[in-house]
Amino acid sequence: MLSLRLALAVALTVFASGCGSSSETPPAAVDSGTPLDGSVDDAPASTDAAPDAKPDTSALVAARPFVLKVPTGYDKSKPTPLVVLLHGYTASGATQEAYFQLSPVADAKTFLYAMPDGLQDKSGNRFWNATDACCNFDGNPVDDVAYINAVIDDVEKKYNVDAKRVFLVGHSNGAFMAHRLACDSAPRIAAIAALAGDVWADGTKCNPQSPVAVLQIHGTADAVIAYGGGKNGTLAVFPSATASVATWAAKDGCASTATPGASLDLDSVLLGSETTTTEYAGCKPGGAALLWTIQGGTHIPTLQPSFATTVYGFLSAHPKP
């Protein structure tokens, strides 16, 4: 049996080659705004930002530039939502965007869209230092919580970001990273959507200072990050998808029992509305805990073209109170 580390690399490599997209080349859809050198033309700082209110994190971004898409309808006089994409292990922001296709939605719905890259490990694979279960195989001490916060800081300095609408979308290792940010940086993260990645198995390691809206999406046939939980090679165990959402329900002060909702069609290969949904009601303001289970879905499901719009619909419905 393949180790989970190798399986992740194989799965993402197959996907990237199938898309015909280089892991190092941003797709053409993001060419409307790519401040890779930290410079931005005619881009004002947020009108809500107080001078010297935050530590200077520019060095982190200078060392690790990121791609930023500015939507075609951006108006510097209007606070604009920000979505940060967190790629899977072995992938990049570019290959993850080629899979999720959020860029057209950024134009249609008018949100700023950041696509950072994780560092490369000793095997040359990009990773995030997320939870103890995924996917820092080399024990690299990089602080990716600080880095992603620096990315958000950088966009806020140059554009009019709506501080109540900062969202994260992650896949696999990036989904683990989204959970980690929600735990550690809850005051600035309104909502996350996590596909095939979980929160800490030890819930005491997640201590959000305010509620965060969490959407967990996971396939029951995921052979890489198992729907029912498991162990990631030499790393720590990760919880089941249901346990991850239950953890967030408790953190967000929701009801103790989830309620079934309408079925969805997220996977274009599986027949019918294959995705069952459950939600914990009664959460504190700003909180939400939802699980979308793709029955028969794999680690890299064949997503419907509407997937990105559906996911952003969840995010946009859950701003900070």
Cα 59 to Cα 63: distance, rounded to the nearest angstrom: 6
- Which helix H or strand E contains 166, and what residues bound it? strand 161-171
Please identify every stretch of the chain with a pLDDT value under 70, giving residue numbers as ranges: 1-55
Cα 190 to Cα 212: distance, rounded to the nearest angstrom: 6
pLDDT at 57: 82
φ, ψ dihedrals at 135, nearest 5°: -140, 50
Q: Could you tell me if 241 and 218 are in contact, meaning their C-beta atoms sit under 8 angstroms apart?
A: yes
DSSP-assigned beta bridge partners for residue 85 = 169
DSSP-assigned beta bridge partners for residue 1 = none
pLDDT at 56: 77
pLDDT in tens, 169-224: 999 999 999 999 999 999 999 999 999 999 999 999 999 999 999 999 999 999 99
- Domain with residue 79: its CATH number is 3.40.50.1820
Q: Is residue 248 part of a domain?
A: yes
Q: Is residue 321 part of a domain?
A: no
- Going from the C-alpha of 168 to that of each of 53, 195, 321, the distances in angstroms are 23, 11, 17
Q: Is residue 157 part of a domain?
A: yes
* Crossing angle (nearest 10°) for helices 93-100 and 4-19: 70
Helices (H), the chain: 4-19, 58-63, 93-100, 103-109, 144-158, 173-184, 241-251, 307-316
Q: Is residue 43 part of a domain?
A: no
Q: Is residue 298 part of a domain?
A: yes
Cα 180 to Cα 110: distance, rounded to the nearest angstrom: 26
Q: Could you tell me if 311 and 193 are in contact, meaning their C-beta atoms sit under 8 angstroms apart?
A: yes
Q: Is residue 72 part of a domain?
A: yes
Count of structural domains within the chain? 1
pLDDT at 50: 42
Q: Could you tell me if 237 and 313 are in contact, meaning their C-beta atoms sit under 8 angstroms apart?
A: no
pLDDT at 283: 98
For residue 152, the enclosing domain spans 4-35+53-316
Q: Is residue 41 part of a domain?
A: no
